[in-house]
Amino acid sequence: MSTLGTLRSTYWVPNVPRSGRMVEKTIELTGISANSVEDAVQLAIARAGVTISGIHSVHVEDISAAVEANKVVRWRVRIKATFQVKDELHE
């Protein structure tokens, strides 16, 4: 696998109220896509959203690519996704 560079940026998901007191949790995820970096990020967020609600920001920590026969065949992104910890008890 070859590292093509590192991009550090933050994506904010709109329409999330940021008022009052809250606790947030940040998790690290890896998305892999043969199509694009953006697709890899979206895939990681979508998959995490199946079990985690309220992801409101994502920070791209690292981007790398798998190269075969001098062509990029897969993009891999490492992201940190942040969501609000809710004031609910699990049963």
Spatial CB neighbours of 17, under 8 Å, sequence gap ≥ 6: none
pTM of the model as a whole: 0.71
For residues 63 and 41, what is the distance between their CA atoms, to the nearest angstrom? 10
* 5 DSSP β-pair partners: 63
- Domain parsing of the chain, residue ranges: 2-85
Question: Do the beta carbons of residue 19 and residue 57 sit within 8 Å?
Answer: no
CATH 3.40.1190.10 applies to domain 2-85? no
Q: How many helices (H) and strands (E) does the chain have?
A: 1, 5
For residues 48 and 52, what is the distance between their CA atoms, to the nearest angstrom? 6
Q: What is the pLDDT of residues 31-71, one digit of tens each?
A: 999 999 999 999 999 999 999 999 999 999 999 999 999 99
pLDDT at site 49: 94
